[in-house]
Amino acid sequence: MNNTAKKILVVCGIFHGHFTTSVEVVRELVALGYDVTCYVNEEFAPRLNVENVKKVVYSDDVSDMKSFIPADAPAFAINSCRVGRATDKVISMIVEEKTQYDYYVFDLFFELEEMNKVMKLDPEKLISLYVSYVLTDYDQNDPRRAFGLVATNKKYNINLIDFVAYIFIPNRFKKLIPSSRYFHLRAEDTDDTCYFIGTNIEKRDPDPNFSFKKEEGKKLLYVSLGTIFGKDVMFYHRVIEAFRDSEEYQVLMSVGRHVNIPETFKDIPKNFTILNYVPQTQLLPEVDVFITHAGYNSTTEAMTAGVPLVMVPQAVDQFDVAKVTQNLNAGIELNKLEIDITSDIIKKAVNDAYDNRETFKKNMAVIVESLAEARSKRPEIFAEVFA
């Protein structure tokens, strides 16, 4: 069989950053001639607008589980339930469909070792698609995240654990990593199951409903802590305190869909715009400084646009991404595990990032070039992985 005629099932990521990685890999596999089928959740099915892809759409709705979320659950609580529900649906579909694929590519939040106790697929055919790094310098374990997996564990008699922590544990499966060796944490410690495929920016149509305009003569400060962890209301208020009525900065804050803006912000300064959602890649070319949670996609999108970074990691791999970026002198990290991030510290970091913008842009360009070089090798990597 010709390599490019291989049948591949891609189980797409169910969260924004994860899906963004999935859809671009799908796009490239199809362009190379592979026969691709995708399992995609209802939320992202409209964005899987790739021709010649067979789409299987399923629901990971957990509205029936919300009453079971404990009061002390972490911010990831609802997503834990979604991972559990999605895992259940994917296992069931693979077992019931009985279609034989040559290879199976799963978003990394699907725990392949446990799932395969039920799916019973050839482990050599199972590939994990990562969204950033396979290593961490921080303890990622939070057993409370496992509560959303309990129902699926009971149904299949398996042992799904904290899906965030387990991804940094060595495993036998081949791994597609959307980074370069240059931009990866301790790349020398990765093994021969790791394939660095670079990153790319999802090609999305401009949002015609986004009417924000940059003011002439002002620097634009963009603030976003991401779609999942963007609930740090105290941090937002400290940004407001730092730049209230600034004659120098116009500030746009994207606070995520779960923050009620009228209830949370009673006195919004005239130089601030606060929205629940911003089409980030559309905005970044206009931005002078970006305060980000150091999510991998946000960080690489900003680097591609050459935007100076102030990184305020919130959880998981964001601390590692911020560390690597700062070590390469491409941004400033404010680590809440080490310091109290006051309004004065925020203001100084933003000013320092702007003042060092040319140095940061130069070093970002080196990172972006390394990512592009890794990305250019995708066809030969795919040929090896899907041989």
Backbone angles phi, psi at 290, to 5 degrees: -120, 115
As a whole number of angstroms, the distance between CA 44 and CA 16 comes to 8
Site of tokens 């959602």: 277
- pLDDT for position 13: 96
167 pLDDT above the threshold of 60: yes
| Statement: residue 120 has pLDDT above 60 | yes
Every domain of the chain and the residues it spans? 3-177, 219-370
pLDDT score, position 373: 96
Distance of alpha carbon 198 from alpha carbon 217, whole angstroms: 36
Q: What is the pLDDT of residues 293-311, one digit of tens each?
A: 999 989 999 999 999 999 9
> Which residues have a Cβ under 8 Å from the Cβ of 308 and sit 6 or more positions away?
288, 289, 290, 331, 353, 354, 356, 357, 360, 361
Backbone angles phi, psi at 367, to 5 degrees: -65, -50
Q: Which fold has domain 3-177?
A: Rossmann fold (3.40.50)
Which pLDDT score, from 0 to 100, does residue 137 have?
94
Domains 3-177 and 219-370 alike in fold: yes
DSSP for 146-183, please give it: GGGGHHHHHHHT-----HHHHTTS--SSEEEESS-STT
Mean pLDDT value across residues 41-69: 90
State yes or no: pLDDT of 250 exceeds 90.
yes
Q: Which of 74-78, 91-95, 338-342 has the lowest mean pLDDT?
A: 74-78
User: How sure is the predictor about 153, in pLDDT bands with cuts at 50, 70 and 90?
Assistant: very high
Amino acid code (one letter) for 362: K
Give the confidence band of 1 by pLDDT, cuts at 50, 70, 90: very low
**Averaged pLDDT for residues 137-163:** 92
The domain 219-370 is placed in CATH, from the list 3.40.50.2000, 3.30.230.70, 3.40.50.720, 3.40.50.10490, at 3.40.50.2000
